[in-house]
Structure 1
Amino acid sequence: MASKKKRVAEPMAESDSDESSGNDFDDDEMEDENSTPINEEVQVEFEARMLDDGDFHGVKTLLQQVFLKANINLSELTNTLISQNYIGCVIKQMDIPDDDEDDGMDEDDNDAVFGLMSVVNITEKKDLECVQQVRSLLLDHCKACAKEKLPRFSDMLHDSDQHVGLLLSERYLNIPPQISVPMYDSLIKDMEKCQRKQMKYSFAKYMMVSKTYRMKGGSKQKEEPVIFSNSEEELLHEVSELSFTYSVEDDRDTVVGGQWDSDNPMEALRTVMVIPADQLSVALTRIKAELAST
């Protein structure tokens, strides 16, 4: 599986050996020259790979984007994902040919994890510490901000006959949403293979914790609309049978890729969605159509 992304190059000074000796710039001119971003499209090829032990830190970092400062054993959750590497994938940059190895890139860059797609059976694995912590965290937030939904949410989590899959779809913000389509398709195929082998990847429902945000300043009568960091997840939300949103404003200083400052007009949130299994394919069909038209 391959995808492409667009990047804006970091501001940098460019010089040409034939011209630099003949041009003198004072400090102010050089500062102005360097302060202008260079709009440049860089084509980067990605591919999906099975998780392995070397992905531990990259996967754990992506999980931290979701759970931030929450009391969850992310090391155990990461190891759980790696141990079931026949399900899901990580996204990495494709190997660069030998001729291109001297382009200034760190040799470890190609092994960096840019995205993750997987699912954990939180019914079967309910005795794992990390799963217990996830369940407790979300029950507490449901009770605090959507108390009327708590009985349904609790019943779902404690029903041993109807298995629930914790759907994990994470990537860095500069990775375009188009990459989510083959990742979801791959995950569904992996689950179908496991089901044919009588493995416990047949789910009645999926649960996802989605990164969201909204403008500050809304009132109780009229809250600002919730915006999804991964835009395709808005369509998953539309087919969910239960959802609630809670603030992670106090945890935002651990956001990967930069801090939110105190003047940021956006409030950091998490939206929990419960998606019936038969609606996942419905949402994916809509996601494909939406992304194809953009």
Structure 2
Amino acid sequence: MVKKRNRDPEVLAEATHADDDGSGSDTDMIDVEFEWFNFKPDVDFHGVKSLVRQLLDVDSQLFDVSALADLILSQPTVGSTVKVDGEETDPYAFLTILNLYEHREKKVIKDLTEYLAAKGKTNSALAPLSGLLSSNAQVGLVLAERLINCPSEIAPPMYDMLIDEIEAAVEDKEPYEFTHYLIVSKTYHEIASTLDQEDAPKQKKNKAGKAKETFYFHPEDDVLQRHALASGSFEYTKDEGEGMADSKRAFQEMGIKSQGSMILIEANKFDGAVKAIKEYLNAQ
């Protein structure tokens, strides 16, 4: 049975106690020990499929998510799941990488590549992306998602493992020698709530003239974009529907609107970006 490599126990220990914010407050804490595993197709299909659907948000409807989950699970030694109650349980998080050029003839990858190239044209900050995706460049598509209550401190070990596994795969002559890494993720910005309508005029007045601020669902994405050749957000194709922003309310007075996000990093800068993630999250 394939298992994850042994990792630095100090790194994993930090991730398992991520609920401790260091504030010294009396808030009740739950000690959870996270475990890292390789993908196991007969166990992980539904959990990975659900997380992929969450990652792609409303636009997951545009793709064969089952086929994408199957492709992810077909690479058992590259990428990780994070679980709490052993290998036979559903994952709380996953991270993997797919070679877009190697899998270009698979319909789900063809659809996803065309989608990402089209979205890249909607934001000038993503200008280099479209030409790159239509070339023979070896672009590694990084997909990472976790349940909303998972601590961000699980991210650095997952990225560390991914780098190790890519290096091992390249040594074995497998197609993981990338020129670029493309992280697909999500951002959001606040919008005025449709609830409490009597307060709506006041809210609109208070927010008038204020530029929309972009927030990251994954804090590590804020670090990754600082090392990027190109990064930016894009609007989803599918409509979230009336009231969806309020169902995702981040704060009492505001709803939130999700957007897709892409971060393109050159291969020679990826290791440095991952090290920066570790430094940033361990400093929190």
Letter in 2 for 1:293: A
Gaps of 5+ in 2: 1-6, 21-25, 193-203
Q: Which of the numbers 150, 162, 166 marks the counterpart of 1:175?
A: 150
Q: Distance in 1 between matches of 2:215 and 2:153?
A: 18
Matched residue, 2:123:
146
In structure 2, relative to structure 1, the CA distance for the partners of 1:166 and 1:233 (3 Å cut) is same
Matched residue, 2:186:
211
> Which structure has the greater CA radius of gyration?
1
In structure 2, relative to structure 1, the CA distance for the partners of 1:85 and 1:251 (3 Å cut) is farther
Identity %: 24
Matched residue, 2:113:
135
Matched residue, 1:104:
none
Q: Count how many residue pairs are aligned between Structure 1 and Structure 2.
A: 245
Matched residue, 1:66:
55
Matched residue, 2:239:
250
Q: Distance in 1 between matches of 2:190 and 2:58?
A: 22
In structure 2, relative to structure 1, the CA distance for the partners of 1:293 and 1:6 (3 Å cut) is closer
Q: Distance in 2 between matches of 1:157 and 1:236?
A: 20
Contact (CA 8 Å) 2:63, 2:108: kept in 1 or not?
A: yes
Q: Which of the numbers 117, 125, 132 marks the counterpart of 1:156?
A: 132
Q: Distance in 2 between matches of 1:148 and 1:240?
A: 11
Q: Tell me the alpha carbon deviations over residues 256-278 of structure 1, each in whole angstroms, 9 at most, x when there is no partner.
A: xx9437x8522211211111111
Q: Distance in 2 between matches of 1:285 and 1:204?
A: 19
SS in structure 2 at match of 1:123? coil
Q: Distance in 2 between matches of 1:149 and 1:216?
A: 24
Contact (CA 8 Å) 1:212, 1:229: kept in 2 or not?
A: yes
Q: Distance in 1 between matches of 2:116 and 2:178?
A: 19
Letter in 2 for 1:158: S
Q: Distance in 1 between matches of 2:49 and 2:38?
A: 15
SS in structure 2 at match of 1:216? strand
Q: Which of the numbers 263, 270, 278 marks the counterpart of 1:273?
A: 263
SS in structure 2 at match of 1:232? helix
Matched residue, 1:12:
none
Letter in 1 for 2:182: M
Q: Which moved more, 1:78-87 or 1:239-248?
A: 239-248
**1:230 Cα shift?**
0.8
Q: Distance in 2 between matches of 1:64 and 1:271?
A: 15
Contact (CA 8 Å) 2:123, 2:234: kept in 1 or not?
A: no
Matched residue, 1:120:
98
Q: Tell me the alpha carbon deviations over residues 53-89 of structure 1, each in whole angstroms, 9 at most, x when there is no partner.
A: 2100000111011212321111111111111111011
Matched residue, 2:66:
75
Taking only aligned residues, the RMSD between alpha carbons, in angstroms, comes to 2.9
Q: Distance in 1 between matches of 2:98 and 2:17?
A: 28
**1:244 Cα shift?**
2.5
Matched residue, 1:51:
39
Letter in 2 for 1:146: N
SS in structure 2 at match of 1:111? coil
In structure 2, relative to structure 1, the CA distance for the partners of 1:173 and 1:148 (3 Å cut) is closer
Letter in 1 for 2:130: S
**1:138 Cα shift?**
1.6
Does 1:166 find its partner at 2:148? no
Contact (CA 8 Å) 1:63, 1:170: kept in 2 or not?
A: yes
Contact (CA 8 Å) 1:115, 1:171: kept in 2 or not?
A: yes
SS in structure 1 at match of 2:219? coil
Does 1:111 find its partner at 2:111? no
Q: Distance in 1 between matches of 2:162 and 2:154?
A: 13
Matched residue, 2:165:
190
Gaps of 5+ in 1: 9-37, 96-107
Runs of 4+ in 1 over 4 A off after TM superposition: 5-8, 147-150
In structure 2, relative to structure 1, the CA distance for the partners of 1:41 and 1:149 (3 Å cut) is closer
Letter in 1 for 2:176: Y
Matched residue, 1:84:
75
Does 1:225 find its partner at 2:213? yes
